Chains A and B, each alone.
Chain A
Amino acid sequence: MSTVRSPFRSQVRALTDHAVTGLAVLATLLVVTPLVAIFGYLIYKGAVSLNWAFFTQIPKPVGEAGGGMANAILGSGILLGVASLIGVPIGIGAGIFLAEFGRGTKLANAVRFTADVLNGVPSIVMGLAIYALIVVPQGHFSALSGGVALGVMMIPTVCRTTEEMLLMVPHAVREAALGLGVPNWRSVLSITVKTASPGIITGCMLAFARVAGETAPLLFTALGNDFWSASLNQPIAALPLQIYVYALSPYDDWHRLAWAGALVLILLIVLAVSLVRFVTSRGVLKGAS
């Protein structure tokens, strides 16, 4: 007993406590540093080139000063819209199947495995696959093919987060619904999915933010466009593509625009995610987990 209470032991314990806390803080800083650094550097490099024209004008020919990426912002919006229309419903549907209806079946295991593999497919390969499946048969690059490529990339993330979030809903909550004489399908849709919805929305946002910055799958599909286009059947501009082209160009002017584009891309993603969070959190009661 006396050894346990000796001052030396308690000092060692306090020291260990400090050391472990210190390591945890250090690790946290290491995680946060790159994010802050990237964001700070983007603001430093990009903010100077941000002006009204950037959001309202299309790119000017080389040599002419000014110009903006308005068409790329619109294009990214359209591409992500198409991608979300494909990725979110299919992903959530598959996730619901995995967690609720297909649990333990061979089909569910196959779907889960496929989703995991799909998640690991390099994005450039996804671009090539959609190129072969849509662009070649159609005979031209298009916004549609770009949106499909991004949408397919969203599916596995949405599907697996949906499944995991549904499995986290306590068994007691499902039993409560079934015990009231609610049919199983109704209980799944109105109770289980609703209870898990904050997590499912987070998964969708994660997938959305991830594909919003993708360049590779768009190279062979959306292609890029220097002019206004909102047609699904035409090549379309996208912020990541524009940044890619501008950053690789030999012109200082374009480099500055690329920095501004990168900053705008990140800001738009943050804006979109915050907006969805705000809209979906309204009406959900405080105190609900």
Chain B
Amino acid sequence: MGVSIEVTNLNAWYGTNHTLQDINLKIPANHATALIGPSGCGKSTFVRCLNRMHETNPVARVTGSVRMGEMDIYADTTPVEIRRRVGMVFQRPNPFPTMSIYDNVAAGLKLNGYSNRRALDEIVEKSLRNSALWDEVKDDLKKKSGASLSGGQQQRLCIARALAVDPEVLLMDEPASALDPVSTSKIEDLIFQLKAQYTIVIVTHNMQQAARVAENTGFFLNGRMVEFDSTHKIFTNPSDKRTEDYITGRFG
């Protein structure tokens, strides 16, 4: 099941660059939450703070707190531990190029020492079914490399890989921006189904996409969160002038 996320006074820096300023928000469990805003506004940085991926950059620094359920992810746990509970799907599909489809999905478990064959088989099948890829790849799971799939299939493979470690939250950083419209709509359908089991945070440049998949939407601008509300409210009657300017296409 998904878990709710509560972000309090989150600030982030890359070197001296203050990329996130005083972010406060509550992301409800088992809902999809979209983050929109122009390029460079900090939305990607924000989702990377939710699984401490920003720490892979040595000059990154964060203050404030992020609670997932009862746990403060900066105080009570390690980056490795939190990333198992918070899956991530990146902008460009990034399957492991030397691995088969099967091994790609099983990678998170295998690399953490999990080796029960039968259980792995089941998890791989379940994850691929959940990412709507099973029927397309079931005949060559171990024969084909993950890199041999099409872009859209690769992205669903990456989603399956993230689901296989059984996370509570799924972060998606522009998951469809490198894909064609057909693949994009498959990913969107998937998000719709997945939020029954996971809390989903999706960064997107595509406002129709936000409107289609997310119950709540946050608008980021210049490292601040300008507005956070139900998607319907944001797109029909935003409270802030800047949000309105952005969604009507007046800038950004």
Name A residues whose Cβ lies closer than 8 Å to a Cβ of B.
170, 172-183, 186-187, 190-191, 194-195, 197, 284-289
Name the A residues within 8 Å of B99 (CB-CB). 285, 288
Closest to A103 in B: B58
Name the B residues within 8 Å of A191 (CB-CB). 96, 107, 111
The answer for the CA separation of A178 and B147 in the assembled complex, in Å, is 19
The answer for the CA separation of A174 and B112 in the assembled complex, in Å, is 15
B135 within 8 A of A: no
Q: Which of A175, A180, A285 contacts B145 (CB 8 A)?
A: A285
Bitwise, B65-84 to A at CB < 8 A (1) or not (0) is 00000000000000011111
B81 with A181: CB separation less than 8 A: yes
Q: Which of A179, A186, A190 contacts B53 (CB 8 A)?
A: A179
B172-219 residues at the A interface, CB under 8 angstroms: none
Q: What are the 7 closest A-B residue pairs judged by CB atoms, nearest first? A: A181-B84, A180-B108, A287-B148, A172-B94, A181-B83, A179-B88, A285-B145
Min CB–CB distance B74 → chain A (angstroms): 16
Q: Report which residue of B53, B96, B161 has the largest number of chain A beta carbons within 10 angstroms of its beta carbon.
A: B96
Min CB–CB distance A189 → chain B (angstroms): 10
Query: What are 18 sample pairs from A and B whose C-beta atoms fall under 8 A apart?
Result: A173-B94, A173-B97, A175-B94, A179-B162, A180-B165, A181-B85, A181-B112, A182-B108, A182-B111, A186-B112, A191-B96, A191-B107, A286-B145, A287-B147, A288-B97, A288-B98, A288-B99, A288-B147
Name the B residues within 8 Å of A285 (CB-CB). 98-100, 143-145
B92 within 8 A of A: yes
A194 with B94: CB separation less than 8 A: no
Min CB–CB distance B225 → chain A (angstroms): 23
Name the A residues within 8 Å of B111 (CB-CB). 177, 180, 182, 186-187, 190-191
The answer for the CA separation of A181 and B73 in the assembled complex, in Å, is 14
B92 with A172: CB separation less than 8 A: yes
Closest to B101 in A: A285
Min CB–CB distance B9 → chain A (angstroms): 25
Q: Report which residue of A170, A172, A176, A287 has the largest number of chain B beta carbons within 10 angstroms of its beta carbon.
A: A176
Min CB–CB distance B140 → chain A (angstroms): 10
Name the A residues within 8 Å of B143 (CB-CB). 285
A179 with B83: CB separation less than 8 A: yes
Name the B residues within 8 Å of A180 (CB-CB). 83-84, 87, 107-108, 111, 161-162, 165
Min CB–CB distance A100 → chain B (angstroms): 12
Name the B residues within 8 Å of A170 (CB-CB). 94
Name the B residues within 8 Å of A181 (CB-CB). 80-85, 108, 112, 165
B96 with A179: CB separation less than 8 A: no
12 additional A-B pairs beyond A180-B83, A197-B98, A285-B143, beta carbons within 8 Å, are: A173-B97, A175-B53, A177-B107, A178-B53, A181-B83, A182-B80, A182-B107, A182-B108, A195-B97, A285-B100, A285-B144, A288-B99
Min CB–CB distance A75 → chain B (angstroms): 37
Min CB–CB distance A119 → chain B (angstroms): 29
Name the B residues within 8 Å of A183 (CB-CB). 80
The answer for the CA separation of A289 and B96 in the assembled complex, in Å, is 10
The answer for the CA separation of A182 and B165 in the assembled complex, in Å, is 11
B56 within 8 A of A: yes
Min CB–CB distance A277 → chain B (angstroms): 16
B90 within 8 A of A: yes
Name the B residues within 8 Å of A286 (CB-CB). 145, 148
Closest to A179 in B: B88
Closest to A286 in B: B145
B144 with A179: CB separation less than 8 A: no
A175 with B90: CB separation less than 8 A: yes
B81 with A176: CB separation less than 8 A: no
B231 within 8 A of A: no
Bitwise, B97-119 to A at CB < 8 A (1) or not (0) is 11110000001100110000000
Q: Which of A176, A187, A190, A288 contacts B94 (CB 8 A)?
A: A176
B51 within 8 A of A: yes
The answer for the CA separation of A286 and B162 in the assembled complex, in Å, is 24
B36 within 8 A of A: no
Name the A residues within 8 Å of B83 (CB-CB). 178-181
A194 with B98: CB separation less than 8 A: yes
Closest to A181 in B: B84
B158 within 8 A of A: yes
The answer for the CA separation of A181 and B114 in the assembled complex, in Å, is 13
Name the A residues within 8 Å of B162 (CB-CB). 179-180
